Amino acid sequence: MRAALGGPHEEGGKHISGGEHLSSKADMQVKAVELIDKAFSHTQGEPTFFQMTIDKVEEHLQAIKPLSVSTIDATDAAQGRKLARSLLADHGISDEVIKKAMNLLESSNDNRGALIINAKTGERLDERKEKGVRVSHLYWEKENFEQWCKQKELVVNQRMKEALTLATKVCSHPLTIAELCWSDDPDYITGYVASAAKGYQRITKVKEYGDEAGGRLFFVNDDQSIDSYIHYLEKIPVSIGTEENYELN
């Protein structure tokens, strides 16, 4: 689903909301209504353009355990960005590459998907322009997520659920070194650095309220073709959760 104000995104409409579900056929209608509700109750206003597509998924579903979650408090956006840089540096990414890539996020307010960045050079590897790469075909059943949060003593947060589901899929691919994300939503200032090595590290403040620039950077090894990487991100269905809950419902 994607929704915008003032026309379709490709005709200059302002992005309001996006989302998706991976579900069984039996659950399809309920999930479609959830996406309509999401788009039409967004804090950024009511969209004038709304589009939803339903694809039949035939690939085998991969099951993955969620990344572990930790939260670091930042007093302001400048400290949060500094923390983000140091968490990325923990993965062996140079300061120069981090700065180059962060500039891309700071100056973008129309990247709908992620930008794939060569972790050695800071060069962008996908050729999707402002469209970016949209991670898709991912799923974490609501009750299982809530139970998991309780077990881990985490506050249930829908935003975190969606971001953690996505980060877990992205970081389970061997090409990913780390992901950096903060929201393009001017009302949401928490961001994160995620990786298979260090988990999902939330930073409470990485931007100021009112700032509409945001998005995702995937830092990757440059030693393989990224075509199969993009295929995995966009097309391979992945279910996140604890072992007993990998089946779709």
Residues that bind ligand PML in the complex, under the rule CB under 6 A: 157, 159-160, 163, 181, 183, 185, 188, 190-192, 202
Q: Which does 191 bind (CB under 5 to 8 A by kind): Mg ion, ligand PML, none?
A: ligand PML
Q: Closest CB to ligand PML among 68 and 249?
A: 68
Pick from 169, 73, 180: which is nearest to 119 by CA? 180
Write down the least CB distance from residue 159 to Mg ion, Å.
Answer: 9
47 binds, among Mg ion, ligand PML, none (CB under 5 to 8 A by kind): none
For the chain, how far is it from start to end, CA to CA, in angstroms? 20
With tokens 């650095």, the residue in question is: 193
Binding site partner of 181, from ligand PML, Mg ion, none, Cβ cut-off 5-8 A by kind: ligand PML
Secondary structure of residue 133 in the 3-state scheme: strand
Residue 149, Cβ neighbours under 10 Å: how many? 17
Complex with Mg ion: residue 20 or 185, whichever CB lies closer: 185
Cα distances (Å, whole numbers) of residue 172 to 41, 95, 197, 198: 32, 24, 10, 12
**114 forms bridges with which residues in the sheet?**
133
Residue 134, CA distances (Å) to 19, 111, 158, 216 in order = 10, 10, 19, 10
User: Which residue, judged by CB position, is nearest to ligand PML in the bound state?
Assistant: 183
Site for Mg ion in 138-197 (CB under 5 A): 185
Question: Smallest gap, in angstroms, from Cβ of residue 239 to ligand PML?
Answer: 20
* Contact of residue 160 among ligand PML, Mg ion, none (CB under 5-8 Å per partner type): ligand PML
Neighbours of 8 (CB within 10 A): 13
CB of 79 or CB of 157, closer to Mg ion: 157
Question: Judged by CB under 5 A, how many residues of this single chain contact Mg ion?
Answer: 1
Indicate the residue type of 171: C
Which residue minimizes CB distance to Mg ion?
185
Structure-block tokens of residue 9 = 């995104």
Give min distance, CB of 56 to ligand PML, in A: 27
Q: Which residues here bind Mg ion, judged by CB under 5 A?
A: 185
